[in-house]
Amino acid sequence: MVTVSDEDLVMAVQAGDTDSLGVLVGRWEQPLFRFVYRMLPRRDDAHDVCQETFLRILKRADRYRPGSRFSTWMYQIALNLCRDRARRRKRWGLILSDTHAFDERSHDGGSPATGRPDPAAEAERSELAAAVHVALGEIPPEQREVLILKEFEGLKFKEIAEILGCPESTVKSRMYYGLNGLRTVLARRGIE
Q: What is d(CA 41, CA 153) in angstroms, rounded to the nearest whole number?
A: 15
pLDDT at 109: 43
Q: Domain limits of the chain?
A: 1-100, 116-192
Q: Is 133 exposed, middle or buried (0-12, 13-18, 19+ CB in 10 A)?
A: buried
pLDDT at 99: 34
Q: What is d(CA 181, CA 139) in angstroms, rounded to the nearest whole number?
A: 6
- The HSE-up count of residue 60 (CA atoms within 13 Å, CB side) is 14
CA distances 137 to 43, 58, 145, 167, Å, are 16, 31, 11, 24
pLDDT at 89: 65
Q: What is d(CA 131, CA 104) in angstroms, rounded to the nearest whole number?
A: 12
Q: Furthest-apart CA pair in the chain: how many Å?
A: 55
Radius of gyration over every alpha carbon of the chain, rounded to an integer in angstroms: 18
The answer to whether the CB of 164 falls within 8 A of the CB of 171 is yes
pLDDT in tens, 90-129: 544 444 444 333 444 443 444 445 556 677 777 777 787 7
Return the number of other C-beta atoms located less than 10 Å from residue 69's C-beta.
16
The answer to whether the CB of 74 falls within 8 A of the CB of 30 is no
- Does the domain formed by 1-100 have CATH 1.10.1740.10? yes
Spans of the chain, pLDDT less than 70: 41, 89-117
Angle at 19 between CA 16 and CA 23, to 5 degrees: 125
Category of 106 on φ-ψ map: left (φ > 0), alpha (ψ -120 to 50) or beta: beta
CATH class of 116-192: mainly alpha
